[in-house]
Structure 1
């Protein structure tokens, strides 16, 4: 049995905080996509069988300048999702308001990726 709220809807439109949270969420995901692109160039190259057969030189280390940018971009992405959680905590008061599971996923993936970089590189 679900109870639905049958009162009068008093909200007219989203306020500035909701728009700010949306802007933070979009910028967090865009920075995550940028992190994916930066990690492609910063990570060590794969040592495939064809590469070993032709004895091609490969880079087996992380590029530190790009890794530092990657680290900062991932922290920015995690910071954006945390700020959205804080705004949602104070602005969402009804059970029908969105829970934003995508921001939880963004935060978990960003923090786990930061942990991986710290373990592998530093």
Structure 2
């Protein structure tokens, strides 16, 4: 089975779209970065290094220092697919990120986006 094209797409190629989506709705690049750091465990410096290296999504998530255990609380539909039903791990991680950025753009509070109890 062939891998989905997003796996070999660089995070740096998609990241500006995440930022633009957030900024169009009055949110900030800093908030997008916070979401990414929360999800993956990268520090800001490590994240920026991944962007600089043009790391693809598959490697980005495989090398993440510590995926947040609360990410399994992220539920809902993204691109017509229910996140909790995605079996392939890397695709599910990508969709978690997409969903978090969507929630940010929709004006949801950071505490709720970051699943703080």
TM-score (norm 2): 0.29
TM-score (norm 1): 0.28
